[in-house]
Structure formats: C-alpha cells, structure tokens
C-alpha cells in the first residue's frame, strides 16, 4: 500500500527564547491508503496544531511532511494552497457548509477551486451525493437539512476532488451518538472503498472501534501502543444518516 501521509520528526515551536512554546515534539506518523487513523488526546495536547500541519495549513519548525509522496515541507503559501485543493479533503465538526449555496453547489464550489467545471464535475458531484444518500436533497439549502445530513454533504464534498488524504476534525461533535457513529461509519467505508488515507481527531470514544489505529497525543508527542490497534479485518458498512 502506498504511503499517503507521512510526518517525520515534526516539531512546532511558537515564539523565541524564554517565551517559546513547543506545540509538537518529534512527531512521526505514516498513514497508508485504505487506512483510517484516530488521534485522541486532552484539550491543549497539540491536536489542532497537528491537524493544521498535516493539512498543509501550517509549516513545521523542523521535520518533513509528505502528502501523496510529495514533500510539502518548504512550499510557499500559494503552493500549499494548491496542495490542499488537489490532495486534501477536510471534514469539520460543524460541517462548514456555505449557507447560501444549495447542496449540489457546495460540491461544485470545491471543483471550481481546482479549476474543474462543466458537466463532468456536475456528474461526479451527483454520484457522490447519491453514494451518501442525498441526491434527492441536492437542491436544498443547508438550513433545510438535519445535522446528520449536513455532515454527509461535508463528507461528499471532501471527496469531490479525489484527494489522497482526508482529515476530519471532531466530525461527531455536534451530533448525537447514533448519527455520530453513522457519520464515522460512512467515512470509514468511503476510505476503504476509495483507497484513501484518513486521520480523524476526536474525543468520541464511541467510534474508535471503527478506526484501524488509535494514536494518542499528549504534550505535543504522539504515542501508539500495539494494544491501540483495532481489528483491521473489520469492514464497516455505510449507514444512512437522518
């Protein structure tokens, strides 16, 4: 399996001298295609910084970042923006849908940012919405959708540009346990079927069994124990969210 996301001895330090704050220390992680990894840890442990660096939103102080086998460590802001559009899919805890865009247009906007427009992009958007059970909602505005439906739109949107890496930030935070689990089941299913690599930062212990690996972050350092590796033979089925 190809390595889709690699962090090698990543350090992130804010400030200088006595006021310097170390957010990440010697963080190393490899996520391969078809792999779904959960990152857990208390507030202030470095999860947000970790996700920002993995998502090419923030440059490390030292270390290397590879996305789809390309070293992105020292890219310019414009180059990093291009990497995000073409290689990364983001899923946020509040879905972050644009309130004045219909469901179909939410996906087409992502495609447009990558310079892909026309009937082919629209067809792909419809196929993705169909796969997450929301094709019948494609002309609805976000305010007309339930929380679970909005998160399903966010998942479809994350896959729109066929990114190699999916990053999710507390995707179940605004959902009840049933809909939250269904969201993660859908994510896990899509990652397996499409050969993507996914990293999910979460506090929700109820969905950790759906992940291939569980990594703990504490005081800016990653810890992974063999006991934290779950059943890799388990293949979750996508659930329909309300």
Say yes or no to pLDDT of 230 above 80.
no
Residue 62 pairs in a beta bridge with 11
Say yes or no to pLDDT of 74 above 90.
no
Average pLDDT of the chain?
A: 87
Residues 146-200: pLDDT tens digits?
A: 888 998 899 899 988 888 999 999 888 877 888 888 888 988 998 998 899 999 9
Per the CB < 8 A criterion, the answer to whether 55 and 230 are in contact is: no
Sheet holding 21-32, edge to edge: 21-32, 3-14, 62-67, 70-71
Per the CB < 8 A criterion, the answer to whether 238 and 185 are in contact is: yes
Q: Record the pTM.
A: 0.84
The full length of the chain comes to 242
In this structure, are strands 36-40 and 213-218 parallel, antiparallel, or unpaired? parallel
Say yes or no to pLDDT of 239 above 70.
no
- Those residues whose C-beta lies under 8 Å from the C-beta of residue 40, and which sit 6 or more positions away, are 201, 202, 203, 205, 208, 214, 215, 216, 217
CATH class belonging to 3-228: alpha beta
* Rounded Cα–Cα distance for residues 179 and 172 (Å): 8
Per the CB < 8 A criterion, the answer to whether 12 and 62 are in contact is: no
DSSP the chain: --EEEEEEEEEEEESSGGG-EEEEEEEEEEEETT-EEEEE--TTSSHHHHHHHHTTSS--SEEEEEETTEE-TT--HHHHHHHHHHHEEEE-TT----TTS-HHHHHHHHHHHTT--SHHHHHHHHHHHHHTT-GGGTT--GGGS-HHHHHHHHHHHHTTT--SEEEEESTTTTS-HHHHHHHHHHHHHHHHHHT-EEEEE---GGGGGGSSEEEEEETTEEE--GGG---TT--PPP----
pLDDT for the residue numbered 115:
78
pLDDT for the residue numbered 93:
77
- Those residues whose C-beta lies under 8 Å from the C-beta of residue 29, and which sit 6 or more positions away, are 5, 6, 7, 37, 199, 215, 222
Per the CB < 8 A criterion, the answer to whether 67 and 33 are in contact is: no
Residues 15-71: pLDDT tens digits?
A: 888 888 999 999 999 999 999 999 998 888 888 899 999 999 999 999 999 999 999
Say yes or no to pLDDT of 223 above 50.
yes
Burial of 120 (0-12, 13-18, 19+ CB in 10 A): exposed
Q: 2 to each of 6, 35, 100, how far by Cα in Å?
A: 11, 10, 39
pLDDT for the residue numbered 225:
65
pLDDT for the residue numbered 226:
56
% of the chain surpassing 90 pLDDT:
51
């Amino acid at each position: 399996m190809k390595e889709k996301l690699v962090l090698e001895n990543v350090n992130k330090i804010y400030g200088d001298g006595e006021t310097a704050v170390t957010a990440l220390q010697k963080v190393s992680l490899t996520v391969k295609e078809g792999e779904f990894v959960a990152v857990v840890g208390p507030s202030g442990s470095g999860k947000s910084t970790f996700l920002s660096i993995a998502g090419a939103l923030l440059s490390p102080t030292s270390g290397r970042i590879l996305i789809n086998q390309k070293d992105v460590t020292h890219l310019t802001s414009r180059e990093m923006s291009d990497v995000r559009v073409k290689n990364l899919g983001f899923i946020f805890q509040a879905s972050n849908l644009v309130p004045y865009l219909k469901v179909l247009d939410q996906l087409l906007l992502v495609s447009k940012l990558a310079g892909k427009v026309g009937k082919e992009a629209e067809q792909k958007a419809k196929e993705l919405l169909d796969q997450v059970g929301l094709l019948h909602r494609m002309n609805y505005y976000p305010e007309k959708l339930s929380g679970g439906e909005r998160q399903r739109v966010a998942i479809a949107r994350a896959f729109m540009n066929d990114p190699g890496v999916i990053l999710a930030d507390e995707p179940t935070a605004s959902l009840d346990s049933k809909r939250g689990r269904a969201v993660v089941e859908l994510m896990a299913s899509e990652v397996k079927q499409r050969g993507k690599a996914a990293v999910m930062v979460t506090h929700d212990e109820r969905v950790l069994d759906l992940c291939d690996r569980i990594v703990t972050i504490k005081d800016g350092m990653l810890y992974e124990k063999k006991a934290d590796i779950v059943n890799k033979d388990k293949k979750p089925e996508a659930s329909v969210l309300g």
